[in-house]
Amino acid sequence: MGIDSRVDIGHVHLKVADIERSLGFYRDVLGFDVMQRMGDSAAFLSAGGYHHHIGLNTWESRGGPAPPPGTTGLYHVAIRYPTRAALSDAVRRVLEAGIRLSGASDHGVSEAIYLRDPDRNGVELYWDRPKEQWPMAGEGVAMFTQPLDLEGLLREAE
């Protein structure tokens, strides 16, 4: 018995210190659409008209500091782009906004860019290679971590 293959993760809900500051990142830089706003206490964002992929709230965190390193919590939220060109476009916008990247990796199955949102939450922007290109070992996937050719990725922009 295993989990139904149609199960997926529908959204992530993040505690943030300031809704406007977070919207400046998720809406203005990454390009998500605001689907609903609850004043300065919550916002729900989406790609493609879904009710929400990302929820932001200040219900327990308004003005609060980011969690210190070495504590438990969210490692990162991963945002999957449909193509390498779409990922390239997103990374270009991030860099143009002056946001520092914390990493860029080729995992064989995917290419990923790592950064932090304004509340220091980890964010991964990535695209999956077609499944037939994934590295395999026996019956399993053989993911790895190698440096990503960031310049090559940026030449892919749509």
Question: What tens digit of pLDDT does each residue of 35-58 get?
Answer: 999 999 999 999 999 999 999 999
| Residues 51-85: tens digit of each pLDDT | 999 999 999 999 999 999 899 989 999 999 999 99
Show Cβ contacts of residue 148 under 8 Å, excluding neighbours closer than 6 positions: 104, 105, 106, 111, 112, 113
The SS3 of residue 130 is coil
CATH fold match for the domains 10-62 and 75-158: yes
Task: Check residues 26 and 10 and name the one with the higher pLDDT.
Answer: 26
What is the pTM for the complete model shown? 0.93
Both structure tokens of 40 = 């300065």
8: amino acid identity, one letter = D
Instruction: Check pLDDT > 60 for residue 108.
Output: yes
Q: Could you report the per-residue pLDDT of 88-97, keeping only the tens digit for each?
A: 999 999 999 9
Q: Evaluate if residue 157 carries a pLDDT over 80.
A: no
CATH H-level superfamily of 10-62:
2,3-Dihydroxybiphenyl 1,2-Dioxygenase, domain 1 (3.10.180.10)
Question: Residue 158 — very low, low, confident or very high, per pLDDT cuts 50/70/90?
Answer: low
Q: What percent of the chain has pLDDT over 70?
A: 99
Q: What is the pLDDT of residue 87?
A: 96
What kind of architecture, by CATH, is found in domain 75-158? Roll (3.10)
For the chain, the average pLDDT equals 95
120: pLDDT confidence band, cut at 50, 70 and 90?
very high
Q: Where are the domains of the chain?
A: 10-62, 75-158
Sequence-distant (6+) residues with CB within 8 A of 95 are 101
- Give the range among 1-15, 83-97, 124-138 with minimum mean pLDDT: 1-15
As given in the structure block, the two tokens for residue 120 are 């220091």
